[in-house]
Structure 1
Amino acid sequence: MAATIAIEAPTSVAKPWYRVLYVQVLIAIVLGALFGWLWPALATNDWIKALGDGFIKLIKMVIAPIIFCTVVSGIAHIQDAKKVGRIGVKALVYFEVVSSFALVIGLLVGNLVKPGHGFGGGMANAQAVAGYARQAEAQKSVDFFLHVIPDTVVGAFAQGEILQVLLFSILFGFALMGLGERGHTIREFIDDAAHAVFGVIAIVMKAAPIGAFGAMAFTIGKFGTGAILNLVGLIATFYVTAALFVFGVLGVIARMVGFSIFKFLAYIKDELLIVLGTSSSESALPSLMEKLERLGCSKSVVGLVVPTGYSFNLDGTNIYMTLATLFIAQALGFDLSFSQQLTILLVAMLTSKGASGVTGAGFITLAATLAVVDPRLVPGMAIVLGIDKFMSECRALTNLCGNGVACVVVSWWEGELDKDKLHANLNKQIDPSDVETAITAG
C-alpha cells in the first residue's frame, strides 16, 4: 500500500491569527512594499535581495526530490501500465484545450480594450531586449525536445531541470513497477523519503514571510512605484483578464466537476500569497502537490499532472503573450491582420512550452512570438520591459491556479477523486493551514 500524507481528522483548536502562514506572508508583503518605498537605497541592498532569493533557492532545493518521490511512488503502486499513459494523455488534452481558451481570451480583450492605442512610451533599454530576443531564438523546438533528455541523471537533479527529472522518474517508476514484489523494499523507502522531504518543506515554509518581505522590498526599491504607474493601463488590463480567466473559464470547469473555484482558491491561499511575494510559481510547487493529495486527488495523478503542468499548462503566460503582443503592435502603430493574430495563437501555443524552466520565461516567449508574427515588433519589447516584473506575479498566480484545477479535473476524469475529502477540505471541516499538520498526522 502507498503511504498517505493525508490528515483524516479535523483539528480541535484553531491557531491564533498571528501564527497562520498566509497572514504572516500578507503582513510581510505589505511591510516589504513600505520598506522598499520609504528606503529604496537600503531595500536594494544585496542582503535584502538575498532574503527573497534565498527562500526561492530553499524551495527549489526540494523540488527535484519531491517530483521524483511522488512520480515514482504513484507509478510503482499502479498495477496497470496503461493507466499511466491514460493519465498523461488526458492531462495533455486538458492542457491544450484550456491553454487555447487562455490565448483566445487574451486576444479578445486586447482587441476590445486596445490598451496600446495612443501610447507615447519611449524605446529604452534596447540592449536588454536584444538579449531576450537572442535567448528566444535559441529556444527551437528540436532543442527543446533534446533538452528534455538529460546528459546524466545526476545532472538533471543537480540543475533542477523539472522535465528531465520527470522523464527519469517516469522511466524509474515503470522499471520499479516491472519488478513486482521484488521492488517492495524500494517502494517503501521512496514513500518514506517523500514523507521526510515534506518534513523539510514544513521547516522551510516557516521562512516564507521573510522571503516575501525581501522579494517585495527589493522589487519596489529597485523599480519604484513609478514603474507601476507608468503603464498602469496594461497592468490593470492584464490582471483583469487573468481574473476573468480564473473565475470565468476555470470557475465553469470547477463547477462542472462539482466544486467552487472560490473555495478552492481559499484552500490554496497560502500558496497564492507565497507566489505573490516571490513572483515564482515554483516556490509553491511542493506544498501545492501535498495539498492536492490531501484534497482527494490520487497520488499518481498529482505526481504526473502537476510537474507536467508547470511546463505545459502555462495559462497566465499564454494570456500575457497574446495581450502583450497586441499592446506592442498598437503602441507602435501596427495593424495586425486576422491571419497575423491567428499566427499569434499558433506560435504562442508552441513557444509557451519551449521556454519552460528558463529565467524570465514569459519575456523570452514574448520575444519568440513577436519575431514570428512580425520582426518589426521585437524592439517594442522595450516598452514593457520595465514593468515585466509586476506582470510576472500575475502570470505565476494564474499558472498556479490553472495547474491546481487541472489536477482536480484529471483526477475526476480518471475516476480517482475522493469527493468526500474534497468537500471536507473546501468546506474547512479539515484544517489545511500548513504542511506540518499533515506530516505529523501521517
Structure 2
Amino acid sequence: MAKRLTFFIIVGLVLGLIVGWGLHLAIDDGTPSSAATLTKIAGYFSILTTLFLRLIKMIIAPLVFSTLVVGIAHMGDTGALGRVGLRAVGWFLSASLLSLTLGLILVNLFQPGVGLNLPLPPVTATSGVDQAAFDIAKFVTHVVPASMIDAMAQNEILQIVIFSLFVGVAITAVGEKAAPLVKATEALAAVMLQITNYVMRFAPIAVFAAVTSTLAERGPGVIGDLGYFMLTFYIGLATLWAMLIGFGFLFIGKRMGLLVRYIREPLLLAFTTASSEAAYPRTLEALDRFGVPPKISSFVLPLGYSFNLDGSMIYMTFASLFIAQAYGIDLSLGQMVIMLLVLMVTSKGIAGVPRASLVVIAATLPLFKIPEAGLLLILAVDHFLDMGRSATNVIGNAVAASVVARWEGTLDPIEPVDVEPPHAPSRGVA
C-alpha cells in the first residue's frame, strides 16, 4: 500500500500539472473575464484539497494527544521525559540557527534581488498580511490552553502538547491506578492510525486538485517572473537537506541513509499539498518503522511542529533579504546578524498562525526600514515556495526524532520499507 500510494500521488501530481496548465492555456486570453473564469474553476478544484486537509485536521488533535500521553506514560519517569525534552529543544535551536544562517549566506551569495531596482513604495503601502496574528506576549500566554476542548477544536498543537504533558506525567505519578486509562489511550491511538489509513487513500485526488487549481489560476508565467529567486531558494533547501542528513549521519551512521526512503511518502505528500501538517500521521508511522520508539517520536514530533520548522526558518532570512535587495537597501553585516537573531526568537511563535512565515517576515521588515509591501513581490509564488518549505519541515523533524532516539540509545530494528504500514505502531505504542 505504501509503495502504491506514493506512485498514485506522483500520478496525481503529473496529471495536475497537465490539466492545470492545459486549462490555463485554453481559457486565458489576457482579459479580466478569462481571469475570473480561471479563478472560479480553480475554486472548484480547491474544494477537493480543502476537504482532504480538513480530514487531516480531523485526526491531528486526537492522534497527537493519544500518542504523546502513552509515550510519556511508558517513559517511566519524569527524569527521562526531561532528558528527552532538553535534547529535542537543543537540537531544534541548533537546526533553526543553521537554517536561518544558511538562508542569510545564500541570499548574499546568489543575490536574487539585486538588479531589480524597484522604486520604494509609499509609506502607507502594506502587504495585506495580518501582522496582528503574531505577538510575542500573546504567544507566551497562548501556550497554556484555557480549555482543552477549545484547543482540540482549533487544532492548537502546542496547547495540546502542554495538556498532554500534564496528563502523561500525572499518569506516571499515579502508577497502577491509571493502567486502564493508558490502555484506553493506546486503543485510541490505534483507532486514529487506522482512520489515517482511510484518509490517506484520498491523498492522490487532493494532490491532483491542488496542483490543477494553482496552475489553472496562475499559469506557468508566474514561475518565470521570479524564476531566479525560486531557483536559488530551492538550491538553499537542497543544501539544507544535505546538511541535516549529513549531521544525522554523524549521530546515526549509515542507517541514516535509509531514513529518506522511509519518509518519502510523507515528504511527497507535504510537498504536493504544501502542508507539513498533512504529512504528520504518515511521518509518525514512518519513524516507527524506521526504528524510532513511539514514546520518543510521539513526544519529539509534536514539539517539532511547534519549534522546528527548518524550511520556514531558511525562507525567513532568504525572503527578507531578497526584498531588501529588490529595493536597493543595503544592510550591514551587523544588521543582518540582528535580523537573524530577531527571526530566531519571533519564529518560535508561529505555530498555528496562518501563512506563518509571511506573518513573521511582515512583522520583522519594518524593524530594518524595509518596505513591508515588498511581500507582494513574493506572494504570487509563495505557494510554490511553501511546497518546498513544507517538505523540508518534515525531513527536519524526522531527522530530529531519529537523532534524539539515538542519543537515548533506543533505536529499534528497522522494518521493511515497502510494506503496508501498520494500523497501529508495530512495537506497541510503548
TM over 0.5: yes
Tell me the equivalent position of 1:6: none
The alpha carbon displacement at 1:99 in A equals 1.1
With over 3 angstroms needed to count, the CA separation of the structure-2 counterparts of 1:297 and 1:261, relative to structure 1, is closer
The alpha carbon displacement at 1:80 in A equals 1.3
Is the 2:20–2:211 contact (alpha carbons within 8 Å) kept by the matching residues of 1? yes
The alpha carbon displacement at 1:369 in A equals 2.2
Matched residues in 2 for 1:439 and 1:95: separation? 25
| Percent of aligned pairs with the same amino acid | 37
Matched residues in 2 for 1:400 and 1:65: separation? 20
Is the 1:254–1:405 contact (alpha carbons within 8 Å) kept by the matching residues of 2? no
AA aligned to 1:301 is I
Is the 2:288–2:294 contact (alpha carbons within 8 Å) kept by the matching residues of 1? yes
Tell me the equivalent position of 2:54: 57
Tell me the equivalent position of 2:16: 32
The alpha carbon displacement at 1:348 in A equals 1.0
Tell me the equivalent position of 2:31: none
Tell me the equivalent position of 2:362: 367
Is the 1:56–1:283 contact (alpha carbons within 8 Å) kept by the matching residues of 2? yes
- The reply on whether 1:193 has 2:179 as its aligned counterpart is no
Is the 1:71–1:304 contact (alpha carbons within 8 Å) kept by the matching residues of 2? yes
Tell me the equivalent position of 1:338: 333
Tell me the equivalent position of 2:84: 87
Matched residues in 2 for 1:216 and 1:46: separation? 12
Q: Aligned match of 2:150 in 148, 155, 170?
A: 155
- The reply on whether 1:131 has 2:117 as its aligned counterpart is no
Is the 2:263–2:287 contact (alpha carbons within 8 Å) kept by the matching residues of 1? no
Tell me the equivalent position of 2:421: 435
Matched residues in 2 for 1:125 and 1:221: separation? 32
Q: Specify every segment of 5 or more residues in structure 2 that has no aligned partner in the other structure, as ranges.
A: 25-36
With over 3 angstroms needed to count, the CA separation of the structure-2 counterparts of 1:219 and 1:261, relative to structure 1, is farther
AA aligned to 1:384 is I
Matched residues in 1 for 2:146 and 2:169: separation? 20
Tell me the equivalent position of 2:177: 182
Matched residues in 1 for 2:307 and 2:263: separation? 21
Matched residues in 1 for 2:16 and 2:124: separation? 30
1:389-415 Cα offsets, whole Å, 9 max, x none, are 111111111111100000000011111
The alpha carbon displacement at 1:121 in A equals 5.9
AA aligned to 2:150 is G
SS in 2 for 1:435: coil
Q: Aligned match of 2:306 in 290, 304, 311?
A: 311
The alpha carbon displacement at 1:377 in A equals 3.0
Tell me the equivalent position of 2:376: 382
SS in 2 for 1:131: coil
Matched residues in 1 for 2:218 and 2:116: separation? 20
Matched residues in 1 for 2:11 and 2:142: separation? 40
Matched residues in 1 for 2:422 and 2:161: separation? 25
Is the 1:280–1:393 contact (alpha carbons within 8 Å) kept by the matching residues of 2? yes
The alpha carbon displacement at 1:222 in A equals 1.8
SS in 1 for 2:104: helix
With over 3 angstroms needed to count, the CA separation of the structure-2 counterparts of 1:330 and 1:441, relative to structure 1, is closer
1:100-138 Cα offsets, whole Å, 9 max, x none, are 111111111111111111115688999994431xx3355
Count of residues in correspondence between the two structures? 415
With over 3 angstroms needed to count, the CA separation of the structure-2 counterparts of 1:439 and 1:252, relative to structure 1, is closer
SS in 2 for 1:393: helix
AA aligned to 2:94 is V
The alpha carbon displacement at 1:224 in A equals 1.5
Give matches, 1:13-24, under 5 Å: 20-24=4-8
With over 3 angstroms needed to count, the CA separation of the structure-2 counterparts of 1:32 and 1:124, relative to structure 1, is farther
Matched residues in 1 for 2:125 and 2:47: separation? 23
Is the 2:222–2:380 contact (alpha carbons within 8 Å) kept by the matching residues of 1? yes
SS in 2 for 1:34: helix
Matched residues in 2 for 1:279 and 1:339: separation? 34
- The reply on whether 1:96 has 2:93 as its aligned counterpart is yes
SS in 2 for 1:39: helix
With over 3 angstroms needed to count, the CA separation of the structure-2 counterparts of 1:130 and 1:405, relative to structure 1, is same
Matched residues in 2 for 1:441 and 1:413: separation? 20
Matched residues in 2 for 1:283 and 1:143: separation? 26
With over 3 angstroms needed to count, the CA separation of the structure-2 counterparts of 1:33 and 1:380, relative to structure 1, is same
SS in 2 for 1:74: helix
Tell me the equivalent position of 1:229: 224
The alpha carbon displacement at 1:78 in A equals 2.3
Q: Aligned match of 2:402 in 395, 400, 408?
A: 408
Matched residues in 2 for 1:259 and 1:400: separation? 20
Matched residues in 2 for 1:441 and 1:101: separation? 34
1:197-256 Cα offsets, whole Å, 9 max, x none, are 100000110000001011111111122111111101010111011100111343233343
67-76 or 145-154, larger mean C-alpha shift? 145-154
AA aligned to 1:101 is L
Matched residues in 1 for 2:280 and 2:271: separation? 13
Is the 2:189–2:424 contact (alpha carbons within 8 Å) kept by the matching residues of 1? no
Tell me the equivalent position of 1:171: 166
The alpha carbon displacement at 1:33 in A equals 1.5
Matched residues in 2 for 1:412 and 1:20: separation? 30
Matched residues in 1 for 2:102 and 2:421: separation? 35
Tell me the equivalent position of 1:329: 324
Matched residues in 1 for 2:241 and 2:114: separation? 26
SS in 1 for 2:113: coil
Matched residues in 1 for 2:133 and 2:272: separation? 30
363-372 or 430-439, larger mean C-alpha shift? 430-439
Matched residues in 2 for 1:344 and 1:35: separation? 42
Tell me the equivalent position of 2:270: 275
Is the 1:124–1:383 contact (alpha carbons within 8 Å) kept by the matching residues of 2? no
1:26-76 Cα offsets, whole Å, 9 max, x none, are 010111111111114468343311111111111111010110001100111
With over 3 angstroms needed to count, the CA separation of the structure-2 counterparts of 1:112 and 1:141, relative to structure 1, is same
> What's the TM-score once normalised by structure 2's chain length?
0.91
SS in 2 for 1:415: coil
With over 3 angstroms needed to count, the CA separation of the structure-2 counterparts of 1:438 and 1:70, relative to structure 1, is closer
AA aligned to 2:421 is V
Matched residues in 2 for 1:281 and 1:121: separation? 33
With over 3 angstroms needed to count, the CA separation of the structure-2 counterparts of 1:258 and 1:118, relative to structure 1, is same
With over 3 angstroms needed to count, the CA separation of the structure-2 counterparts of 1:285 and 1:337, relative to structure 1, is same
SS in 1 for 2:220: helix
